[in-house]
Amino acid sequence: MSTSSVSKGCFVFKPSAKKKKTLSLEDHFSHGCESAESSEKRFKLCQDLWDKIKSDTEVLQDDLNRKILDSLLDFTRKCSSTRQLSDWASQMRASEIPTAALVLGVNVPDHDMTFQSLSELLQQSVTPHVASVQAKECGALKHLMKRVLERLMGTDVTVDDEEEEEAEQTSTPLHKSVHCSLSTLCDWYKTKTKKSNTPGKKRSSPSRDDPQQPPVVIIFKDLEAFNPKVLQDFILICSRYIERLPLMFIFGIATSPSTIQHMLPHSVSSLLCIELFQSLSCTQHLATVIDQLILTHHFPFKLNAKVLQVLMSIFLYHDFSVRNFIKGLQLALLEHFHSQPLSVLCCKKKDALLNVMQLSHSDLERIRNLPSFKRYVEKQEPQEQVNLSKDDTHLKEVCQKLIKGLHKYHKNYYPVLRCLHTLTSSLPRYPLGKQVRELHLICLEKNVWENEDYQTAMKLLRMLAKDELVALLQRCVEILQPVKSKKMKNAFLQLTDLLTKFKQLDTVAAEPPPCVEEPIISPVRNLQKKTDLFQLQKTLLEMNESRRAKKLSPFEVLRNEALEFLDNLVKSHLSPPESHTLNEVCYYTSSATVRRHLNATPRTSIQAALNSPYYYLQNDRLKTVDGSVSNSAPDICIAYKLHLECGRLINLYDWLEAYATVVSAAEGNNPDSDNYGKVEEVKHARFIRAVSELEFLGFIKSTKQKTDHVARLTWGGC
């Protein structure tokens, strides 16, 4: 749809019913995407992949939250049980409402999932009565009441018409106000429990698994956003019913627990019995997500360094939200399958092989034009080159081969990556980064072994003491063990017998004398303390000296051997994806798109539009060589351009005259005619409109100081 308006704003279009009917997701997908013929297949692939990712992430979420959720459940159980026990401490607390302060961190978008699973778990294991409320739906006390009652007693059906009443209401009608008091809740609860109680059981002996009185849990999802007054009143009211109704609260806190003190005065907080729960930090969360989704060969779809970088930076710099990260991933996925026709091959190996067979001629042409494939072709001898460029069937076979190769590459890449990480992550000053994702980025960029950090890392490794080294190798073995690929298998074997050799070393002879060990172990040890790079280099150098000086002990020989082996592993498997043919099939590369979608820059785009209108309205008369704006540009552009030359305060009249000259130049009337650059009504009006538009866009604003001036809100010549 479109509007007559020129200005970029947001317009609401009521979707017409039939349109909504016709357009399915798939139509949206295939609409205007490359090479429609394979679109539905790609759409299917995309869907499947996304579903898999989604389910995986959900599973991940759950077992990440497992720990804290379990502790919360225990807490609730404890409360509900102690309420019936009659030991001294619980009697002393009988009048207080048990409250769990759940600190979740500032990544608010992720909280919903947590609360979702929390309430589900509660309902499964502890109590059927769980209600969770949000701040924005409880502006006033009675709204909060209403929500809580509705959600507990399950009378959601009446919500809508009551909403209307809320809209028009002046004072709550009677029947509703009867509902809206906690006493009704009490009665309801009494009947519930009576029903549930089997006559056989005794009050006095509450069994942990099914408490006689399941607690009534109320979850406040976002405590900070609640209106303190409302919360205080609600708690006050609840505390009046506490002995009749086993209430308990859960506060979802984003920032820090001390907000409770800020919100509640002592008179209220003294009614609560608060216990604190801290969820794990979102960075750890992200680490695991990346580990499961990115650093695995299960998903054929890959991100290249730049895109990953963009997603990471959005996470780290802007919102700590894992959910958004995954959304970003989804976007990339969609974009990839949407824009890249060859993404039909981005799927499980055997499907891919099948798909290769069904490639159309145009697709094959696309393949021939792939840069990576070109590179590959150049490497072949001439005859082969001809075949590849001419013979489609041959090309298909080759493609199958290449696809296989690509899959192998992935299979081997990640285990080796992890090995390298395990080795380097324990080194002082983390030459290759603390997190595995950093290492991954490095490897994606270029050949990691040409990186001098890698060299230093290797040097440091060469100085490891035996026990440390063995431990690390052991971990590497554990990593390699489960991998099912030929290369990795024998790598695993080699490593294992290296390890055995290490073992033998000290079983056979204790003869590497301590005098040799000492200078070797100690430097690494005291390296930990050293901080500046220069120092490090120096020590490394002198160690090399010392090593050259004397003959190597068998341990050192073995160590070098092992490291050589690892180095080879790295060299053979950690080459960046660009070096592999057909990588375009799997790797999504356009970071710009992702950035534009996820991290839009409205102001810069406006300025771009004003600076070079051609960019948006593809009109050749607006083409200009340098940054300057042609005279025939829209008024606002000219006004903008002129205002850039002014100081903080702009004299409107000067501005107008400057504008007038420019415009009349555009009209092409000759400079020395007397009415050249003179202001007549039309120009004046146009100018005024341009200025007001600029003001609307927030580039200028009128000032109190001088009436005929406007203040500029932009800095410098930007």
Partner 1 sequence: MTKMLQHSGYEEERLQRVAELLPCREVQAGMLLSLMGQPQQCSYPSIFIYGHRASGKSHVMQVLLKELELPHATVSCVECVSVALLFEQVLLSFFGCDAASLLPRSPSLSDFVRIYRQHCSQTPAKQTRYIVMEKAELLRDTDANLLPALLRLQELVDDNVTIILLSEIVWDKFRPNTGCFEPLLLHFPDYSKGELQQILSQDKHPSYSAEFYSSYINILLGVFYSVCRDLRELRHLAALNFSKFCEPLAEGKVKETDTHKLWRNIEPHLKKAMQTVYLREVSSLQWEQLQQMEERECGALRGLSAHTHVELPYYSKFLLIAAYLASYNPARTDKRFFLKHHGKIRKTNFLKKNEKTSNHLLGPKPFPLDRLLAIFYSVVDSRVAPTASIFSQISSLVTLQLLTKVSHDDQLDAPKYKCAVSMDFICAISRTVNFEIIKYLYDFL
Partner 2 sequence: MIICIIGFIDVQVQDILRERFCRQQLPDRLEGVEAQHKHLLELLKRTAVHGESNSVLIVGPRGAGKTMLLKCVLRDLLEEKEAQKNLLQVHLNGLLQTDDRIALKEITRQLHLENVVGDKVFGSFAENLAFLLEALKKGDRSSSRPVLFVLDEFDLFAHHKNQTLLYNLFDVSQSAQAPVAVVGITCRLDVLELLEKRVKSRFSHRQIHLLSNPTFPQYLERVRTQLSLPDRFPDQEFCQDWNDGVETLCEDKSVQDVLQKHFNSSKDFHLLSSFILSPASLFPLIYPFFSTSSSISSSSSSPGVTPLLLLPADLLEASRLCFTDSKANMLHGLSILELCLIIAMKHLNDVYEGEPFNLQMVHNEFKKFLQRKSNSMYNFEQPVIMKAFEHLQQLELIRPVDSTAAKTQREYQLMRLMLDHSQIMEALQKYPQCPTDVKQWAMSAFG
DSSP string, 99-162: EEEEE--S-GGGHHHHHHHHHHHHHHHT-S-EEEE-GGG-SSHHHHHHHHHHHHHT-GGGHHHH
Please report how close the Cβ of residue 89 comes to partner 1 at its closest, in angstroms: 6
Which residues have a Cβ under 8 Å from the Cβ of 41 and sit 6 or more positions away?
A: 344, 355
CA distance 107 to 32: 36
Residue of the chain from 6, 23, 159, 316 that contacts partner 1 (CB under 8 A): 316
Q: Which one, 259 or 447, has the nearer CB to partner 2?
A: 259
Q: Is 116 in the site for partner 1 (CB under 8 A)?
A: no
Q: Which one, 89 or 510, has the nearer CB to partner 1?
A: 89
587-588 and 649-651 as β-strands: parallel, antiparallel, unpaired?
unpaired
CA distance 259 to 265: 11
- b (16+ CB within 10 A) / e for 675-708: eebebeeebeebbeebbebbeebebbeeeeeeee
Please report how close the Cβ of residue 175 comes to partner 1 at its closest, in angstroms: 8
Q: Which one, 124 or 261, has the nearer CB to partner 2?
A: 261
Inter-residue contact 153 to 188 (CB < 8 Å): yes
Which residues have a Cβ under 8 Å from the Cβ of 118 and sit 6 or more positions away?
A: 65, 69, 72, 219, 250
CA distance 300 to 50: 12
Residue of the chain from 131, 242, 273, 646 that contacts partner 1 (CB under 8 A): 273
Residue of the chain from 56, 224, 291, 517 that contacts partner 1 (CB under 8 A): 224
Residue of the chain from 73, 131, 242, 274 that contacts partner 1 (CB under 8 A): 274
Looking up tokens 């069904």, which residue turns up? 358
Q: Is 272 in the site for partner 1 (CB under 8 A)?
A: yes
| Side-chain half-sphere exposure of 181, counting CA atoms within 13 A | 11
Please report how close the Cβ of residue 280 comes to partner 1 at its closest, in angstroms: 11
* 4 C-beta neighbours (distance < 10 Å), count: 4
What does the DSSP 8-state code read for residue 512? S
Kindly identify the residues of this chain, within the stretch 74-103, that bind partner 2 according to CB under 8 A: none
Please report how close the Cβ of residue 329 comes to partner 1 at its closest, in angstroms: 17
Residue of the chain from 185, 216, 217, 314 that contacts partner 1 (CB under 8 A): 314
Q: Is 106 in the site for partner 1 (CB under 8 A)?
A: yes
Q: Is 276 in the site for partner 1 (CB under 8 A)?
A: yes
Q: Is 281 in the site for partner 2 (CB under 8 A)?
A: no
Residue of the chain from 267, 393, 455, 500 that contacts partner 1 (CB under 8 A): 267
Number of residues that bind partner 1 (CB under 8 A): 71
Kindly identify the residues of this chain, within the stretch 582-611, that bind partner 1 according to CB under 8 A: 598-604
What does the DSSP 8-state code read for residue 314? I
Structure tokens at 518: 């000492």
CA dihedral 410→414→417→422, nearest 10 degrees, is: -170
| Residue span binding partner 1 (CB under 8 A) among the ranges 7-15, 207-215, 267-275, 614-622 | 267-275
What does the DSSP 8-state code read for residue 645? T
Please report how close the Cβ of residue 266 comes to partner 2 at its closest, in angstroms: 5
Q: In Å, what is the CA distance from 3 to each residue of 9, 20, 580, 613, 633?
A: 10, 20, 47, 19, 21
Which of partner 2, partner 1, none does residue 197 bind (CB under 5 to 8 Å by kind)?
Answer: none
Residue of the chain from 647, 704, 715, 716 that contacts partner 1 (CB under 8 A): 715
Query: How many Å is the maximal CA-CA distance in the chain?
Result: 110
Please report how close the Cβ of residue 600 comes to partner 1 at its closest, in angstroms: 5
Structure tokens at 17: 């019913």
Which of partner 2, partner 1, none does residue 284 bind (CB under 5 to 8 Å by kind)?
Answer: none
Please report how close the Cβ of residue 169 comes to partner 2 at its closest, in angstroms: 19
Kindly identify the residues of this chain, within the stretch 56-95, that bind partner 1 according to CB under 8 A: 88-89, 91-93
CA distance 237 to 218: 14
| Side-chain half-sphere exposure of 275, counting CA atoms within 13 A | 17
Kindly identify the residues of this chain, within the stretch 396-425, that bind partner 2 according to CB under 8 A: none
Kindly identify the residues of this chain, within the stretch 622-641, that bind partner 1 according to CB under 8 A: none
Q: Which one, 270 or 673, has the nearer CB to partner 2?
A: 270
CA distance 110 to 252: 12
Inter-residue contact 123 to 251 (CB < 8 Å): no
Q: Is 269 in the site for partner 1 (CB under 8 A)?
A: yes
Please report how close the Cβ of residue 699 comes to partner 1 at its closest, in angstroms: 11
Q: In Å, what is the CA distance from 297 to each residue of 103, 115, 405?
A: 35, 32, 13
CA dihedral 606→607→609→612, nearest 10 degrees, is: -170
Which of partner 2, partner 1, none does residue 141 bind (CB under 5 to 8 Å by kind)?
Answer: partner 1
Which of partner 2, partner 1, none does residue 701 bind (CB under 5 to 8 Å by kind)?
Answer: partner 1
Please report how close the Cβ of residue 150 comes to partner 1 at its closest, in angstroms: 16
Which of partner 1, partner 2, none does residue 128 bind (CB under 5 to 8 Å by kind)?
Answer: none
Kindly identify the residues of this chain, within the stretch 673-692, that bind partner 1 according to CB under 8 A: none
DSSP string, 665-696: HHHT--TTSTTTT---HHHHHHHHHHHHHHHH
What does the DSSP 8-state code read for residue 348? -
Inter-residue contact 507 to 455 (CB < 8 Å): no
Please report how close the Cβ of residue 214 comes to partner 1 at its closest, in angstroms: 21
Residue of the chain from 73, 113, 186, 237 that contacts partner 1 (CB under 8 A): 237
Single-letter amino acid code for the residue at 238 = C
247-253 and 216-220 as β-strands: parallel, antiparallel, unpaired?
parallel
Residue of the chain from 35, 123, 172, 485 that contacts partner 1 (CB under 8 A): 172
Residue of the chain from 23, 36, 85, 178 that contacts partner 1 (CB under 8 A): 178
Which of partner 1, partner 2, none does residue 628 bind (CB under 5 to 8 Å by kind)?
Answer: none
- The 239-258 contact track toward partner 1, x by CB under 8 A, reads -x-------------xxxxx
Please report how close the Cβ of residue 229 comes to partner 2 at its closest, in angstroms: 9
Q: Is 261 in the site for partner 1 (CB under 8 A)?
A: yes
Kindly identify the residues of this chain, within the stretch 246-275, that bind partner 2 according to CB under 8 A: 258, 261-262, 265-267
Q: Is 136 in the site for partner 2 (CB under 8 A)?
A: no
Looking up tokens 């978008």, which residue turns up? 109
Q: Is 158 in the site for partner 1 (CB under 8 A)?
A: no
CA dihedral 252→253→259→265, nearest 10 degrees, is: 0
Please report how close the Cβ of residue 68 comes to partner 1 at its closest, in angstroms: 15
Cα angle, residue 200 at apex, residues 195 and 202 outer, rounded to 5°: 90
Kindly identify the residues of this chain, within the stretch 462-521, that bind partner 2 according to CB under 8 A: none
Please report how close the Cβ of residue 277 comes to partner 2 at its closest, in angstroms: 21
DSSP H stretches of helix in 430-553: 436-445, 452-462, 466-480, 486-508, 514-527, 533-549
Please report how close the Cβ of residue 230 comes to partner 2 at its closest, in angstroms: 12
Q: Which one, 101 or 472, has the nearer CB to partner 2?
A: 101
Give me the phi and psi of 34, to 5 degrees please: -60, 140
- The 202-241 contact track toward partner 2, x by CB under 8 A, reads ----------------------------------------
Please report how close the Cβ of residue 705 comes to partner 1 at its closest, in angstroms: 15
- b (16+ CB within 10 A) / e for 288-310: ebbbbbbbebebbbbbbbbbbbb
| Contacting positions for partner 2 (CB under 8 A) | 258, 261-262, 265-267
